[in-house]
Amino acid sequence: MIRLLVFLALSVCLAAESLTVEEIAAKYAAARGGLEKMQAIKSLKLTGKMTMSAAQTEAPVTLFIKRPDRVRIEIQLGGNRLVQAFDGTTAWSINPNQGPAPRPADQEEALRTRETADFDGPLVNSKDKGIRLELLGQEDVQGSPAYKIKAIRSNGRSEYHWVDARSFLEIKSSRRRPFMGREMEFEAFPADYRPLQGVLLPASIEQRMEGKPLLRIQWQTMEANPALDEAVFRMPTGETR
């Protein structure tokens, strides 16, 4: 009996290791609900709260996304409104610490905002997006075996994604980026996947910086295909409203 269990366990491991990165990416898309259902969602509006770990401060947060590449994030913090957005051409932001007027984003901020606008993430239709995927093996992520995948963008930027070996949902991502004058590692842990028109979306996302808790976002409402005017994503002229 013990020998049989060992043989079966080894067989499962060998079968798992034989998957290619393309097969894992396909299983990831299928686990989310499939490409057809994913593509049927043309826009999203998510509302929830963001909890900053250090101060245990809560702030309302709203995310608007519209295909192919529009995005807007709003955070209400201490009576101030922070905005980051991309209209398909221009990335911009409103940060009260830098004045009340909207401003074009700097290069790093623009790259991050544009990547956030990717509706489905780099593991879906990666070749069409000019993203090269590399399978780096398996790792344990919070007690779950997961495939580690490196995504290399056409501009040379790299990030890492961990796909659960059983559910084939993403359970971690990681990238390094400049922050406060130095390169820092930022990790995200999506969880609590919930269905929206047949597509699974993470209702909870924990973010860490250099391994330490940074913030958690909990989406409380998720709306598929709301009517979003292009003006939502366009940088206002003059003073903010």
CATH code of the domain containing 176: 2.50.20.10
Query: Any idea which residue has 């366990």 for tokens?
Result: 9
Write down the pLDDT at residue 13. 46
Binned at pLDDT 50, 70 and 90, residue 48 comes out as very high
Supply angle C-alpha 91, 76, 90, rounded to 5. Answer: 5
Could you tell me if residue 107 is inside a domain? yes
3-state SS class at 86:
strand
Check residues 17 and 111 and name the one with the higher pLDDT: 111
State pLDDT tens for residues 50-94: 998 877 789 999 999 999 999 999 999 888 999 999 999 999 999
pLDDT in tens, 96-118: 888 888 999 888 888 888 888 89
Gap between the Cα atoms of 126 and 120, Å rounded: 10
How many structural domains does the chain have? 1
pLDDT, position 53: 80
Contacts for 85 with CB less than 8 Å, ≥ 6 apart: 71, 72, 73, 91, 92, 93, 113, 232, 233, 234, 235
Q: Is residue 162 part of a domain?
A: yes
Residue 5 domain flag:
no
Residue span of the structural domain in which 41 resides: 24-119+131-232
Assigned domain for 4 exists: no
**% the chain with pLDDT above 70:** 91
Using one digit for the tens of pLDDT, what is the confidence trace for 161-183? 999 999 999 999 999 988 878 89
Name, in order, each residue with C-beta under 8 angstroms of 77's C-beta and a sequence gap of 6 or more. Answer: 57, 59
Residue 139 above 50 pLDDT?
Answer: yes
Query: What's the mean pLDDT when you consider all of the chain?
Result: 89
The answer as to whether 64 is a domain residue is yes
- The whole-number pLDDT of residue 11 equals 40
Residue 14 vs residue 22, higher pLDDT: 22
- Is 204 inside a domain boundary? yes
Asked if residue 2 belongs to a domain, the reply is no
- The vertex-170 CA angle with 65 and 9, nearest 5°, equals 165
Provide the 3-class DSSP secondary structure of residue 3. helix
105-120-35 Cα angle (round to 5): 155
